């Protein structure tokens, strides 16, 4: 068992044979590990690595942050492409862009010598106050699922492991290390777990990261129900579970091993040699438990090519023109035009003489911040970064004069919003308030008095309240944190080189008390426990069902052109459990510019024996149309799209009766509707 192999002997061992079946390689290597070596593989070292086993030629398995650009260090010594944040990428509603993003960031991960990317983050956006809202994709489980599948597939196309996080119900930063998310089974099944499940069953995700918080009283890293029962046994996950960094702090060694936690990061605490030995000798876990955890880790080591000829693996690359172009494309397509009265936008570069550019975020650059003022694990150090002001200066060069006084300008652009300081959009702490800082509100009000032609551009990663200024401002743009090419993307949209097509993936409330998680202290921020009292009524499901008008609804976003919806056709009037139905609709660009529309399909159970939302997203398509061009969009639906989870029967159920099919340009703008009967 403790045989020492020469380099030549190692090469000839079965697990080194690349032509041998994966599971045989895994079992051969597992059989050669001593108990001490297995213990050694259970915990990390030096922040980002597993411990090597030199006797068997097992190199360190390396994993890096983060979700918006690879960051191997905290000093910015190795720089990489800074892509737009997840909420911006999600706002494109473009699955191919999510795939291409995953592929590109994996190429950068491989070029830096790592094997796993600690992304994507796919927690549901339950509250606009969550400090990490910008890192996540959406409030809707259907959209979340499809974006996550595309991203994971993109990452793993390069034989880099995606690490899907944070499993599960990590929906706030307040008390994140100790609170218990108290969630009923139906809500877990319908809202918080679908995207995680889909990354396993539709994208074969190779790793999951456990959450800091408890779920129904048990910490994520030792949650047998979540990890072993659901993730592994029910969903068929073949990868390994890794703790969030120091997420094992309050857990039990034996509990973590039995639950299926393969790897404790960043260093050994519960998985130290002494703790593992003591727990093993006390019978807190079996050798079979341990072997299964190690087997999963080894499997992913083989999947990423740790033991293979490196020349045969996908080639890594970093900071390429292609990656920079992709970052700009995501930023452009993710920008959401929220308001445009009087068609102030797009700006005509031949008609604007003086442009006033003001506001605290005009020179926003994430790369200049340190790791914590950069948002935490999302921090990135790009080789360059184009601020909004940089982008406008380049666009306007020799054509438009950029000044600072609104009273002297034809148009004023105010770059307002948030940043990654604590209490705003940042890991470790939730937002302190929903509105903009008072000095920004005053800046907007003063500017509008001096110049009626004022545009507010929000650089932010989460909803902000606008009630005290939006009525006075003709045009508002949500630009998010747009990555290293943000300034160029913004200038292209503001001046009409790019027609905005982004749509919100999270409801913007008028006031915080309108949001579903904010009915009481027990539902947010909670204390030892946070009760998800709103159940399945998260996001637009809550606003629609309770008749609350949002500031801007889920799925909303304007364009510089217009679209007409016609000819809704459903190929069957009555369906049963085995049927697939086709829903088609004609979309016409009725304006004078090329534009993209995101067509959304929602389903409504007209009469149900249980509470169900007024509508649920069950399809979306993004289409680009020239002026006067019409395209027929076709959606396919099956029984899953009409189902709800019945916790009594422990299964998904479709009730007989009539359902509405709703097609529109947002959750609140439904253009066409039809009905079908489920028999």
- Catalytic residue numbers read 244
Nearest to 134, CA basis, from 330, 360, 435, 375: 375
Contacts of 471 (CB under 8 A, 6+ apart): none
The three-state DSSP-derived secondary structure of 228-245 is: HHHHHHHCCCCCEEEECC
Q: Under DSSP, is residue 136 helix (H, G, I), strand (E, B) or coil?
A: coil
Q: Under DSSP, is residue 383 helix (H, G, I), strand (E, B) or coil?
A: coil
Nearest to 160, CA basis, from 202, 221, 118: 118
- Report the DSSP beta bridge partners of residue 414: 358, 456
Contacts of 152 (CB under 8 A, 6+ apart): 102, 120, 162, 164, 199, 203, 204, 205
Strands, E assignment, 55-203? 63-64, 116-117, 161-167, 180-182
Q: Where does residue 46 rank: exposed (0-12), middle (13-18), buried (19+ CB within 10 A)? A: exposed
Q: Under DSSP, is residue 439 helix (H, G, I), strand (E, B) or coil?
A: helix
Contacts of 551 (CB under 8 A, 6+ apart): 463, 465, 466, 467, 470, 508, 509, 510
Report the C-alpha gap between 187 and 184 in whole angstroms. 5
Strands of 207-210's sheet in order across: 63-64, 116-117, 161-167, 207-210, 240-243, 261-263
Structure tokens at 123: 């927690």
Report the C-alpha gap between 275 and 249 in whole angstroms. 13
Contact between 249 and 272 under an 8 Å Cβ cutoff? The reply is no
- Report the DSSP beta bridge partners of residue 663: 601, 672
Q: Under DSSP, is residue 121 helix (H, G, I), strand (E, B) or coil?
A: strand
Chain center to CA of 605: 28
Handedness of CA 451, 456, 457, 458 (dihedral sign): positive
Q: Where does residue 672 rank: exposed (0-12), middle (13-18), buried (19+ CB within 10 A)? A: middle
Report the C-alpha gap between 467 and 67 in whole angstroms. 32
- Report the DSSP beta bridge partners of residue 321: none
Q: Where does residue 545 rank: exposed (0-12), middle (13-18), buried (19+ CB within 10 A)? A: middle
Question: Please, how many CA atoms are within 13 Å of residue 448, restricted to the half-sphere of its CB?
Answer: 17
Q: Under DSSP, is residue 140 helix (H, G, I), strand (E, B) or coil?
A: coil
Q: Where does residue 571 rank: exposed (0-12), middle (13-18), buried (19+ CB within 10 A)? A: middle
End-to-end CA distance of the chain: 63
Contact between 603 and 660 under an 8 Å Cβ cutoff? The reply is yes
């Amino acid at each position: 068992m403790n045989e020492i192999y020469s380099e030549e002997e190692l090469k000839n061992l079965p697990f080194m044979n690349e032509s041998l079946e994966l599971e045989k390689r895994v079992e051969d290597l597992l059989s050669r590990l001593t108990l001490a070596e297995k213990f050694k593989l259970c915990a990390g070292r030096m922040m980002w690595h597993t411990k090597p086993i030199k006797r068997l030629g097992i190199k360190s398995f390396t994993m890096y942050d983060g979700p918006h650009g690879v960051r191997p260090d905290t000093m910015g010594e190795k720089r990489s492409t800074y892509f737009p944040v997840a909420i911006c990428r999600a706002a494109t509603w473009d699955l191919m862009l999510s795939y291409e993003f995953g592929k590109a960031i994996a190429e950068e991960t491989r070029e830096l010598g790592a094997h796993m990317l600690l992304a994507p983050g796919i927690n549901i956006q339950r509250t606009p106050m969550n400090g990490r809202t910008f890192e996540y994709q959406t409030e809707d489980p259907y959209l979340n699922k499809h974006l996550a599948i595309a991203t994971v597939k993109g990452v793993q196309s390069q034989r880099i492991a995606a690490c899907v996080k944070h499993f599960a119900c990590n929906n706030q930063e307040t008390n994140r290390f100790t609170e218990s998310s108290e969630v009923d089974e139906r809500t877990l099944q319908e809202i918080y777990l679908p995207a995680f499940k889909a990354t396993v069953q539709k994208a074969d995700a190779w790793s999951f990261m456990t959450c800091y918080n408890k779920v129904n009283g048990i910490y994520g890293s030792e949650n047998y129900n979540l990890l072993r029962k659901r993730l592994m046994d029910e969903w068929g996950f073949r990868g390994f579970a890794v703790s969030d960094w120091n997420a094992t702090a309050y857990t039990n060694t034996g509990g973590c091993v039995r639950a299926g936690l393969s790897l404790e990061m960043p260093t050994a605490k519960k998985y130290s040699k002494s703790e593992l030995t003591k727990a093993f000798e006390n019978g807190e876990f079996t050798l079979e438990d341990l072997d299964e955890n190690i087997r999963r880790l080894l499997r992913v080591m083989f999947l990423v090519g740790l033991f293979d000829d490196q020349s045969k693996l996908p080639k890594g690359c970093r900071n390429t023109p292609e990656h920079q172009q992709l970052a700009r494309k995501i930023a452009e397509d993710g920008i959401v035009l929220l308001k445009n009265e009087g068609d102030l936008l797009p700006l005509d570069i031949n008609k604007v003489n003086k442009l006033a550019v003001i506001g605290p975020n005009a020179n926003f650059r994430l790369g200049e911040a340190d790791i914590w003022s950069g948002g935490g694990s999302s921090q990135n150090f790009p080789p360059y970064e184009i601020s909004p002001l940089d982008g406008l200066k380049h666009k306007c060069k020799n054509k438009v004069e950029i000044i600072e006084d609104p009273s002297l300008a034809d148009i004023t652009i105010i770059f307002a919003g948030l940043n990654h300081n604590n209490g705003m959009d940042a890991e470790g702490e939730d937002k302190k308030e929903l509105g903009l800082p008072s000095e920004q509100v005053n800046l907007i009000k003063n500017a509008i008095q001096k110049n009626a032609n004022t545009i507010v551009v929000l650089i932010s990663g989460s909803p902000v309240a606008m009630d005290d200024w939006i009525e006075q401002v003709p045009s508002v743009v949500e630009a998010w944190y747009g990555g290293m090419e943000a300034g160029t993307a913004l200038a292209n949209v503001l001046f009409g080189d790019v027609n905005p097509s982004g749509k919100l993936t999270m409801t913007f409330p008028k006031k915080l008390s309108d949001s579903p998680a904010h009915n009481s202290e027990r539902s947010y921020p909670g204390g030892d426990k946070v009760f998800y009292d709103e159940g399945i009524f998260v996001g637009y499901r809550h606003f629609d069902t309770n008749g609350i008008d949002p500031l801007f609804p889920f799925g909303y976003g304007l364009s510089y052109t217009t679209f007409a919806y016609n000819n809704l056709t459903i190929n069957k009037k009555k369906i049963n459990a085995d049927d697939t139905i086709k829903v088609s609709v004609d979309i016409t660009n009725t304006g004078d510019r090329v534009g993209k529309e995101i067509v959304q399909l929602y389903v409504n159970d007209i009469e149900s024996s249980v509470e169900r939302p007024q509508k649920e997203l069950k399809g979306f398509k993004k289409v680009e149309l020239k002026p006067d061009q019409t395209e027929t969009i076709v959606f396919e639906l099956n029984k899953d799209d009409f189902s709800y989870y019945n916790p009594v029967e422990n299964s998904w159920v479709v009730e007989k009766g009539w359902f509405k099919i709703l097609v529109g340009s947002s959750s609140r703008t439904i253009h066409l509707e039809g009905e079908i009967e489920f028999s």
